[in-house]
Amino acid sequence: MPGVAFRELNSSSSGESILALCHNPDPKEHLLFAQWHALLCGHTYGGPCGLPFIGAALAPVKEKRYLGGAYRYANRWLHITRGVGNLHGVRLFCRPEVSLLELA
């Protein structure tokens, strides 16, 4: 029940930037009610088998548009790290990464 987890967050009016963490980017639209400024995610592996002309068919997420990198989403930031793991021991055409974010 995400509403319970974000109840205190929504009542805050401190003006500070709010980071939210989510295992993967799939629930992002379900979290729009909360007042986060950036959502940090992973678990996509960047689409571990990104084949030319086919794309990342084996990415373990529902929505394949957000597999790695920074995106604007509903006037907020969405950052997805490809991470260093793999899917069933396979990772092709998608280099592992560790993200270092500088918050300003």
Confidence (pLDDT) at 3: 55
pTM over 0.95: no
In a domain, 31, yes or no: yes
51-81 burial string, b = 16+ CB within 10 Å, else e?
Answer: eeeeebebbebeeeebbbeeeebeebbbbbb
The answer to whether the beta carbons of residues 89 and 49 sit under 8 Å apart is no
In a domain, 100, yes or no: no
DSSP annotation string for 30-79: GGTTS--SEEEE--STT-TB-BTTTB-TT-SSS-TT-SSEEEEETTEEEE
Confidence (pLDDT) at 2: 53
Confidence (pLDDT) at 12: 52
Residue range(s) defining the domain that contains residue 67:
2-80
Mean pLDDT in consecutive groups of 10 residues from the start of the chain, 104 residues: 58 73 89 90 71 67 82 93 80 83 82
In a domain, 104, yes or no: no
